[in-house]
């Protein structure tokens, strides 16, 4: 049994409350450099503002969980960047998806993915594809365009015998006319022999590069050195760009649909995700939610209150430790960009499960193994219940937690509403409401939860083993 390596949950997830000033301001106190920032105006009926490091923290990357609309391109001012302890806001943003209207109150939920410098190895082979070409990790396409994150270290393993006579090097022009690029580049051994590699640590503000054979022309392709975050992943049949925090079980995945169904997409977690949220960026389709408890034949939508319904979106195929399967225009429309948020369960830090309500004020107790900092709950077996979010910073940190925000609504926070009364306890949460929102009699609910304080740490026995 694996032991958690998370002793301080707020190194990976934290909720931050702030008040808008209608101008510019820097929000600090997050506790880490956030990679996924989800902001909601508590005091007004503005849309949710979802940003992430892979798409970039700029005005044109806003998405709203309450809308099936495409990624916004002209939402006024919003996030202006991220910092080591928070994020920057600009402008009096009062449009849908606003983040800084004067005197408005906001909640920002923050997750850490792969903002720290990644380290990744690609296995290189040379294949005959209208001439010799480089191929990575046995992916089905040669000479692909790479995404390499600034500050990241990438090792191109050239030990396979097919690399003999084909040293992979970097250049500033595809035809190598600008000369070899050597900043941060080291090499070892002879290509085609054990231990041979080319390694690059991508410098900040590095130019667009091209990987080519130093002895032959036309074997490679472009290497984007991203000011955003993420690295190329070849785990699936679709190439993806992934920013991943394997410690906290969270990855942000960008990919372009192929329309070839079914297809697979690499998520980079190394373990099987319990929950996946996919949103097409460039077209208006709903937020598609996979949850282990509702299964691979059902689909939920973040932007609606509908129950889990039968769907072929996941091709009746559960995700694996390396990929998830997509099988529909909603998640794999040809030529359209998509973003996916993937969550694995980490003992003492996160939990993705289900429970059955009893319609009683002495409601169900849900064991998580930690004191929750955040829970999101959705009825999954029928009815028209919303997605409800409770956290440990609103309600002045007191039980019962009963101020909620709905992912599928632009409505302001509903404060002190007894229909969602919930106690946050040291090892889980206890339902105190009697309604169908969170605790209807014999109703089934799914939830995702993140910890304020784990019961276990890296030097402790997991609670499930006690």
Spatial CB neighbours of 396, under 8 Å, sequence gap ≥ 6: none
Domains and CATH numbers, the chain: 9-111 (no CATH), 119-228 (2.60.40), 232-343 (no CATH), 350-458 (no CATH)
Percent of the chain with pLDDT over 90: 83
pLDDT value at residue 340: 98
Q: How confident is the model at residue 381 (pLDDT cuts 50, 70, 90)?
A: very high
Count of positions (residues) in the chain: 466
pLDDT value at residue 93: 55
Classify residue 412 by burial, with Cβ atoms within 10 Å: 0-12, 13-18, 19+: middle
pLDDT digits (tens, 9 = 90+) for 402-413: 999 999 999 999
Q: What is the mean pLDDT of residues 200-229?
A: 95
Residue 461 has pLDDT above 50, yes or no: no
Residue 301 has pLDDT above 50, yes or no: yes
DSSP 386: P
pTM equals 0.95
pLDDT digits (tens, 9 = 90+) for 345-357: 999 999 999 999 9
Q: How confident is the model at residue 7 (pLDDT cuts 50, 70, 90)?
A: confident
Q: How confident is the model at residue 73 (pLDDT cuts 50, 70, 90)?
A: low
Residue 121 has pLDDT above 70, yes or no: yes
Is the CB of residue 247 less than 8 Å from the CB of residue 294?
Answer: no
Q: What is the mean pLDDT of residues 328-334?
A: 96
Q: What is the mean pLDDT of residues 299-319?
A: 96
pLDDT digits (tens, 9 = 90+) for 252-284: 999 999 999 999 999 999 999 999 999 999 899
Percent of the chain with pLDDT over 70: 93
Spatial CB neighbours of 407, under 8 Å, sequence gap ≥ 6: 48, 65, 66, 302, 303, 376, 386, 387, 389
Is the CB of residue 86 less than 8 Å from the CB of residue 99?
Answer: no
Q: What is the mean pLDDT of residues 430-442?
A: 96
Average pLDDT, the chain: 92
Among 218-222, 224-228, 242-246, 293-297, which is the least confidently predicted range? 224-228
pLDDT value at residue 449: 98
Q: What is the mean pLDDT of residues 55-75?
A: 80
Residue 135 has pLDDT above 50, yes or no: yes
Among 54-63, 173-182, 362-371, 388-397, which is the least confidently predicted range? 54-63
> DSSP letters along 11-54, please?
GTEEEEEEE--SS-EEE--SSS--SEEEEEESSS-PPPEEEETT
Closest CA to 342 of 243, 226, 453, 238: 243
């Amino acid at each position: 049994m694996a032991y958690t390596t998370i002793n301080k949950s707020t190194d990976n997830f934290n909720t931050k409350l702030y008040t808008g000033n209608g101008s510019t301001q820097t929000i600090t106190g997050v506790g880490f450099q956030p990679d996924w920032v989800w902001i909601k105006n508590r005091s007004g009926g503005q849309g949710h503002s979802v940003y992430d490091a892979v798409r970039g923290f700029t005005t044109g990357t806003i998405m709203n969980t309450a809308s099936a609309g495409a990624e916004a391109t002209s939402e006024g001012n919003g996030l202006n960047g991220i910092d080591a302890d928070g994020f920057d806001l600009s402008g009096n943003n009062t449009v849908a998806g606003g983040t800084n209207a004067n005197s408005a109150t906001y909640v920002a939920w923050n997750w850490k993915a792969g903002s720290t410098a990644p380290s990744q190895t690609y296995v290189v082979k040379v294949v005959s594809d209208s001439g010799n070409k480089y191929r990575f990790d046995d992916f089905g396409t040669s000479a692909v365009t790479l995404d390499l994150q600034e500050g990241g270290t990438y090792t191109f393993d050239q030990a396979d015998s097919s690399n003999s006579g084909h040293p992979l090097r970097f250049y500033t022009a595809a035809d190598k006319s600008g000369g070899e690029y050597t900043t941060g580049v080291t090499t070892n051994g002879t290509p085609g022999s054990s231990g041979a590699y080319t390694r690059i640590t991508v410098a900040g503000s590095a130019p667009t590069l091209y990987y080519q054979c130093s002895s032959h022309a036309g074997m490679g392709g472009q290497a984007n050195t991203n000011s955003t975050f993420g690295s190329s992943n070849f785990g699936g049949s679709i190439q993806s760009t992934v920013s991943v925090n394997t410690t906290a079980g969270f990855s942000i995945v960008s990919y372009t649909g192929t329309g070839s169904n079914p297809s697979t997409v690499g998520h980079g977690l190394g373990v099987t995700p319990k929950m996946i949220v996919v949103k097409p960026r460039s077209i208006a389709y709903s937020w598609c939610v996979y949850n282990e408890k509702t299964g691979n034949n059902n689909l939920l939508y973040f932007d609606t209150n509908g129950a889990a319904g039968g769907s072929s979106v996941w091709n009746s195929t559960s995700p694996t430790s390396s990929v998830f399967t997509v099988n529909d225009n909603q998640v794999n429309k040809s030529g359209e960009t998509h973003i996916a948020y993937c969550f694995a369960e980490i003992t003492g830090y996160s939990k993705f499960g289900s429970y059955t309500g009893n319609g009683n004020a002495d409601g169900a107790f849900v064991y998580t193994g930690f004191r929750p900092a955040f829970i999101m709950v959705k009825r999954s077996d029928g009815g028209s219940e919303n997605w409800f979010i409770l956290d440990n910073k609103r309600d002045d940190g007191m039980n019962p937690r009963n101020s909620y925000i709905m992912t599928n609504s632009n409505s302001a926070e509903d404060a002190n509403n007894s229909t969602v009364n919930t106690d946050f306890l040291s090892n889980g949460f206890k339902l105190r409401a009697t309604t169908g929102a969170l605790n209807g009699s014999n109703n089934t609910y799914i939830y995702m939860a993140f910890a304020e304080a784990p019961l276990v740490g890296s030097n402790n026995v997991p609670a499930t083993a006690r």
